[in-house]
Amino acid sequence: MIPFYDIKAENKPYAAQFAKELTLCMEHGQFILGDAVKDFEMQYAAFCGTKHCVGVSNGLDALRLIFEGYKELGVLQEGDAVLVPAHTYIASILAVIQSGLKPVFVEPELSSFGMDILEAKQVTTSLVKACLIVHLYGSLVNVELFQKFAKNNKLLLIEDAAQAHGAIDASGQKAGAIGNAAAFSFYPTKNIGALGDAGAVTTNNTDLNNAIRSIQNYGAAKKHQHDTLGFNMRLDNLQARFLSVKLKDYPEAMKRRIQIAHGYSSSIKNPKITLPVHPNDDSHVFHLYVVRVGDRKGFVKYLNEEGIGNLIHYPIPPHKQKALSAFTNLTLPITEKYHETVVSIPLYPSLSDESIQRIIEVLNAY
């Protein structure tokens, strides 16, 4: 059996270093908002090419803090509308709603899973104040088009880069430094994964950075001085230490992901299987390799019988979830079709060449 993702194999090379970091953390006695968090924030800001990085509790909180930060600065107001991809993980939508803002769902492109710029233009009204682009599965949206669109419509451009660590487009623009602010997740199975929940916000806006730092820590700009109704959304020192260790090796891990994806894209030749767009640059870092098939139930059954791990990202679109029942009346045929046909196949750095070849053979024989 080839597992869809082997988290033990991915973390095994770091076992000794992680044990050392745990010991150091205990010796230093800093567990919340300590030097290790500051160090990681500086490292990740440099990695993304931004002035600021704020370590936070998880990816959803990172998005929420961006919206709350802009509300605190008076840039956004309760009830403002935000463009969001209809085809995404529900966290993107939850962050908007939980911040007192209104999501405006935008269909994806037919050629990729990214938000369709033409659809975005059609649904933009004077009520829309921000555009949330999601680099889904690790693939950057059309960066320059969305930057121009946001500028022309005076919109905040916010990135959900939870799955796109290190993605960089042909012009050299990198995930995390494309919009006004970006949210990252370091969930254990992400391209850069912690050993628990963790996230980050990157931005070049110093005022937003300061607002987020206050809001994430009970609204306290200084200890025991609470200026706003804040949250507890902090990154702990131990996870920051683990992430600093992994960040050093990530460029090579990213190359391996892209190499595996290239092998799939050049070798899987089956008319029953639609492969994802595979650009020639590093604008897709392949957090997931997502194919589409007409008979998903039959395809998944076949993969399971052949011992090929697989998952569905995501079986139910956000607007069809019970939690978002206010949006079930929406007609989003492209989104719904994607959610009915997508299947993710194994792709992670520790996947062996023999396993990769086996996966290719099985998919070609389908």
pLDDT in tens, 338-350: 999 999 999 999 9
Identify whether residues 28 and 50 lie together within a single domain: yes
Specify if 65 maps to a domain: yes
The answer, yes or no, to whether residue 222 has pLDDT greater than 90, is no
The answer, yes or no, to whether residue 39 has pLDDT greater than 90, is yes
Specify if 210 maps to a domain: yes
Number of domains in the chain: 2
Identify whether residues 263 and 304 lie together within a single domain: yes
Decide the pairing of beta strands 128-134 and 81-85.
Answer: parallel
Identify whether residues 98 and 32 lie together within a single domain: yes
Task: Phi first, then psi: give them for residue 365, nearest 5 degrees.
Answer: -85, -5
Q: Pick from 223, 244, 265: which residue ends a domain?
A: 244
- What sign has the CA pseudo-torsion 305, 271, 314, 324? negative
Identify whether residues 151 and 185 lie together within a single domain: yes
Specify if 239 maps to a domain: yes
Per-residue pLDDT, averaged over 315-325, amounts to 96
Instruction: Establish whether the linkage from the previous residue to 366 is cis, with ω within 30° of 0.
Output: no
Specify if 1 maps to a domain: no
Neighbours of 26 (CB within 10 A): 11
**How high is the pLDDT of residue 24?**
93
Any idea what DSSP says for residue 235? P
Specify if 25 maps to a domain: yes
**358: CATH:** 3.90.1150.10
> 117 is written with which tokens?
């710029």
Is the distance from CB of 230 to CB of 213 less than 8 angstroms? no
Distance from CA of residue 97 to its chain's centroid? 18
The answer, yes or no, to whether residue 221 has pLDDT greater than 90, is no
Q: In which domain, by residue range, is 280 found? A: 250-365
**Helices 15-28 & 237-267 angle (0-180, nearest 10):** 160
The answer, yes or no, to whether residue 110 has pLDDT greater than 90, is no
User: Which of 256, 190, 244, 187 has the alpha carbon at shortest distance from 18?
Assistant: 244
Binning pLDDT at 50, 70 and 90, where does residue 223 land? confident
**146: CATH:** 3.40.640.10
Helix and strand counts by DSSP (H, E) for the chain:
12, 12
* 3-state DSSP of 320-346: HCHHHHHHCCCCCHHHHHHHHHEEEEC
Q: Pick from 244, 260, 283: which residue ends a domain?
A: 244
The answer, yes or no, to whether residue 30 has pLDDT greater than 90, is no
Identify whether residues 230 and 272 lie together within a single domain: no
**How high is the pLDDT of residue 280?**
87
The answer, yes or no, to whether residue 351 has pLDDT greater than 90, is yes
239-292 confidence digits (pLDDT tens): 999 999 999 999 999 999 999 999 999 999 999 999 999 888 999 999 999 999
Specify if 273 maps to a domain: yes
User: Which of 208, 198, 162 has the alpha carbon at shortest distance from 183?
Assistant: 162
Specify if 14 maps to a domain: yes
User: Which of 158, 251, 137, 147 has the alpha carbon at shortest distance from 203?
Assistant: 158
Task: Return d(Cα 175, Cα 68) in angstroms, integer.
Answer: 21
Identify whether residues 54 and 129 lie together within a single domain: yes
Identify whether residues 90 and 24 lie together within a single domain: yes
Model pTM?
0.97
Identify whether residues 163 and 181 lie together within a single domain: yes
Identify whether residues 217 and 339 lie together within a single domain: no
Per-residue pLDDT, averaged over 89-103, amounts to 98
Identify whether residues 66 and 178 lie together within a single domain: yes
Identify whether residues 171 and 264 lie together within a single domain: no
Q: Pick from 202, 223, 244: which residue ends a domain?
A: 244
Specify if 82 maps to a domain: yes
What average pLDDT is seen over the chain?
Answer: 97
User: Which of 201, 140, 131 has the alpha carbon at shortest distance from 172?
Assistant: 140
Identify whether residues 193 and 92 lie together within a single domain: yes
Per-residue pLDDT, averaged over 159-175, amounts to 97
